[in-house]
Amino acid sequence: MTLPIFLIGARGCGKTTVGHALSQLHVCQFVDTDHWLQEQAQMTVAQLVSKEGWHGFRARETEALEAVTAPARVVATGGGIILSEYNRKFMREQGVVIYLSAPVSVLVDRLEAYPKESQRPTLTGKPIREEVGEILAGREALYREAAHHVVNAAQDLDLVIAEIQTALRLARAS
């Protein structure tokens, strides 16, 4: 693996979990753009949004994406990174983009099982089930536009990794 792998998808789709597993398998570095950004700013996403607004956070998100992109690296991105056309194009040109797709019910179950309200501010102010459905409906086309490969993230981690490995082999062969 030489090109970076970018993992995109909604909150709760497993970008961080899958990213750690892929980086171990490929013996390469794993970076989460949200974690990197929070370390650099010394604030949580919620604090950044409160202080700088969503526009300021999204600008920092693009800076984080550019800063962490490097060969032989797996990058888990924030769920909204695809809102920027620049980011979508940047990822497609710089590496391999994998969209971890999962239905709303799976995303909600995962988010409810592992809540991070202090780190992940609400995007709409609505109950989580309603918010996730609304946000995913608005972003689905952008995830697909950015992705080189779409992977079913609702399945077991081993199957997700196997599907990604197959996609990467096919990409190298073409």
Which residues participate in the annotated binding site for substrate? 34, 58, 79, 139
Q: For residue 25, how many other CB atoms are within 10 A of its CB? A: 13
- Residue identified by tokens 């994406």 is 65
Residues making up the annotated binding site for Mg(2+) are 16
Residue numbers in the known binding site are: 12-17, 34, 58, 79, 120, 139
Binding residues for ATP, as ranges, are 12-17, 120
**Dihedral class, residue 77 (left if φ above 0, else alpha if ψ from -120 to 50, else beta):** beta
Collapsing DSSP states into helix, strand and coil, what is residue 64? helix
Contacts with 20 (C-beta within 8 Å, 6 or more apart), sequence order = 30
